Amino acid sequence: MMKAVLYDRYGGPDVLYLGRVPRPEPTVGEVLVKVQAFSVNGGELAARAGHLRLVDGRRFPKRVGLDFTGEVAAMGAGVTRLAVGDRVWGVLGRTSGFGSAAEYATVPAERVGRLPDGLDLVEAAALPVATTAITALRDKAGLRPGERLLVRGAAGGVGNAAVQLGRAYGAEVTALARAANLDFVRGLGAHKAVDHRTVRSAELGDFDVVLDTVGTDVRAYRRQLNPGGRMVTIAFDVKRPAASLGYVAASMVHGHGRVRLFSGNPTRAHFDDLARHVVEGKLSPAVDTVFPLEETAAAHRALEAGGVQGKYVVRVA
């Protein structure tokens, strides 16, 4: 048996508790990871609150935790490129759901990458979501040097990585964040930092690329695109999911590719890219606070309160 964070009903952070479940065993193509740390992500908050119950169902208990860092503890048949004891990071993937908030987790070997030497395992837990920022800016938007980039939610997990990458890719970066986080995003490399509560989208000017990590007011920010501009959104309005996703879908079909929606589902190649970006100095982990496993509910509560600078990380081992 092993410790794991569970919940038996939808609700606020207080539904989370530390329980015990059977330790998993790796099957063909999987590795068993002894989890060192994981970060708290917005998607699991929405799932825990019941906003995704139509796809998530009512079978309990449910688990939390999507990404992780740790060490390979065992390998299933067919895994050859990793070895027991390797320091790794990864994401469980769409088909696996949540469950990295535990002492051990099994994951397909194709969704695991080796950590760069010298990178702390706990701090590194802030970085797996940066694969989403890499994919959004480089692959989906095709961000080019000299272009104007707007990052919504710039102080968060994906947002802070996007600010760092935008600067490294040679873009002029405007970061939207809370007033208390403006110095933080400037320190990440933003050329301009703006309090999102004191400015309307129309007052920001035009942009070549907009990266939206918030999911609200997508229509308004789409209007800020230059001719040939591209908008990538990784979120939707959980209070109005049908309308939010409907507008984005219509824009993708009729907007000549100017709006693109995707959900990060990284593979080994993405983690190889992430490691290279870290080694080259394009990305550094931004950890706001580290919580112990038994205080996972407090980490959820803190993220829901807003104002995070980087990532809330939970230490397991």
275 assigned to some structural domain: no
Pair 227, 246 in one domain = yes
Please report whether residue 37 resides in a domain: yes
Q: Residue 100 maps to which CATH number?
A: 3.90.180.10
pLDDT in tens, the chain (317 residues): 999 999 999 999 999 999 999 999 999 999 999 999 999 999 899 999 998 887 777 899 999 999 999 999 999 999 999 999 999 999 997 666 799 999 999 999 999 999 999 999 999 999 999 999 999 999 999 999 999 999 999 999 999 999 999 999 999 999 999 999 999 999 999 999 999 999 988 899 999 999 999 988 888 899 999 999 999 999 865 565 554 455 455 555 444 457 888 777 899 999 999 999 999 999 999 999 999 999 999 999 999 999 999 999 999 98
Range 274-279 contact pairs with CB under 8 angstroms and sequence separation of 24 or more: 274/89, 274/113, 274/127, 274/128, 274/130, 274/131, 274/134, 275/113, 275/114, 275/115, 275/116, 277/130, 277/134, 277/165, 277/168, 278/116, 278/119, 278/127, 279/116
Side chain identity, residue 113: G
In this structure, are 101 and 134 located in the same domain? no
Question: What total number of domains does the chain contain?
Answer: 2
Domain range for 121 is 2-126+286-315
75 and 8 within one domain: yes
Please tell me whether residues 298 and 256 are part of one structural domain. Answer: no
Specify whether 194 is located in the same domain as 240: yes
Is residue 270 in a domain? no
Query: How far apart are the C-alpha atoms of 129 and 67, rounded to whole Å?
Result: 8
Q: What is the CATH number of the domain that holds 159?
A: 3.40.50.720
pTM across the whole model:
0.92
Whether 304 maps to a domain, the answer reads: yes
The answer to whether residue 276 sits within a structural domain is: no
38 and 116 together in one domain: yes
Is the CA virtual torsion 262, 293, 274, 188 positive or negative?
positive
> Is residue 271 a part of any domain in this protein?
no
Looking at the structure, tell me whether residues 134 and 251 fall in a common domain.
yes
Do residues 229 and 295 share a domain? no
